[in-house]
Structure 1
Amino acid sequence: MTALSDRIAVVAGATRGAGRGIAVELGAAGATVYVTGRSTAGRRSDYNRPETIEETASLVTAAGGCGIPVVLDHLDPAAVAALAARIDAAHGRLDLLVNDVWGGELLTEWNVPVWGHDLDRGLRLLHNAVDTHLIAAHHLLPLMIRRPGGVLVEVTDGTADYNAGRYRLSPFYDLAKMSVIRMAWAHGRDLEPHGCCSVAVTPGWMRSEMMLDHYGVTEAGWREAIAREPHFCISETPRFLGRGIAALAADPERMRWNGASTSSGDLARIYGIDDLDGSRPDCFRYLVEVQEAGLAADPTGYR
């Protein structure tokens, strides 16, 4: 595929999970992708995970694009400004910014009210999940508005409609994920006059590296985890969301998405996209109609 062969992209927070899956699929569509993260060869981040940003860049290139690793902390405005200057010098523009920085898995205390949640951990979660996105937008969007057609993607958990009626089991997590959705809407108001758009997207139940490790399975044998958690049958790879974002970025009518909140399942339906195994999981419809309805786990009609 070469649908994005002339595009310059940044995927912020691309070391693993959704960020890596998105970056690889942008590469598969031919894009030049700057992939950013803190985990580098020889120095792990506080996640202490084996994945590195250099590995992600190699996967992007192997997929058909050009992967460029950039080691930085998105809480450091000077580092992000330096990235913007580097892209400006090399290309003079930016066509796609994917804000996927999160960093809250080890900070969230589930089913704990605000007065019981560790305050330092909760505030750090918000800094990681919200401040980083604003810093990236501040420094990188000026490159995007130089010509029409640019796309800002804010990655979150849950759609606006889904999250609005549900408490996401932590006041800090709830606020972080809703803030990103609102952020996408607000940026859309500013980008529209420049012919650029902004959209919030969410994966479904994603089989990230951390999730697979949590269940003690590999991607090849992920179905073994269904015995432990039956509703894991609706899960998807990180590449599924990546395929949807690549299709959206290549859509000549992408401005129709400006300010919207959508999911990997919705993008797959609209653009006719399948996951790596040829299935088309629709996680959020499944969550509402099956899991939250108290029905037995059964993905029939949902993937």
Structure 2
Amino acid sequence: MTSYYGVPLMVKNKKGLVIEITDGVDYQYRGNLYYSLAKVTTIHLAEAMAKDLEMHNITAVAVSPGFLRSEAMLDIFGVTEENWQEGAKKDPHFIASETPFFIGRAIAALASDPSVHGKKGRALSSWELAREYGFTDIDGRRSDWGKYFEENVLNQS
């Protein structure tokens, strides 16, 4: 819906950035057909919009957070932002989580990058963008879900 109303304004101004939020940066199955379909579709939407909008100098990308430490997840783990590390007692991978501010900072970095058009159509991640742009989460940490997942989940299987 946002693109429906926002993209015509960008076309009129001959520039813009469309960012779709997804989960993951590839077309892998995500454990549930409908969830997987929604997230993969978002990645494809960014790719297709990038092609269709390129002639208007509009960049479209998809961005994925890592293990998101949202308000809902804090509730599920029975913790607050102040003691969120306690959530690792229920799920050890929660220790590598990031706040919603982290992906917000990723988006701010993209929006302020004069070369962002070079990323058109790509599926990006908060952790890759943090490495590239050097931002941290609000607690000063630089969560790297991709590295953590590879070292602690994939290699443990």
TM-score, normalised via structure 2 length: 0.95
Residue of structure 2 in register with 1:152 after alignment: 18
Structure label with greater radius of gyration: 1
Counterparts of residues 51-200 of structure 1 (less than 5 Å): 135-160=1-26, 164=27, 166-200=28-62
Q: Quote the sequence identity (%).
A: 45
Could you tell me how far apart the structure 2 residues matched to 1:149 and 1:242 are? 21
Tell me if 1:252 matches 2:109.
no
Paired letter, 2:7: L
How much has 1:278 moved relative to structure 2? 1.2
How much has 1:288 moved relative to structure 2? 2.2
Over residues 189-242 of structure 1, what are the superposed CA-to-partner deviations in whole Å (9 max), with x where a residue is unaligned?
111111110000000001100000000000000001111111111001100000
Could you tell me how far apart the structure 2 residues matched to 1:198 and 1:186 are? 8
Could you tell me how far apart the structure 1 residues matched to 2:29 and 2:57 are? 35
Could you tell me how far apart the structure 2 residues matched to 1:167 and 1:285 are? 20
How much has 1:145 moved relative to structure 2? 1.2
List alignment gaps of at least 5 residues for structure 1: 1-134, 296-303
Could you tell me how far apart the structure 2 residues matched to 1:181 and 1:285 are? 21
RMSD of equivalent CA atoms: 1.3
Among 134, 149, 152, the residue aligned to 1:287: 149
Residue of structure 2 in register with 1:39 after alignment: none
TM-score, normalised via structure 1 length: 0.50
List alignment gaps of at least 5 residues for structure 2: none
SS at match of 2:156: coil
Could you tell me how far apart the structure 1 residues matched to 2:110 and 2:44 are? 19
Over residues 243-293 of structure 1, what are the superposed CA-to-partner deviations in whole Å (9 max), with x where a residue is unaligned?
010011011111011101110001111111111111111102221232122
Paired letter, 1:279: R
Aligned length, in residue pairs? 157
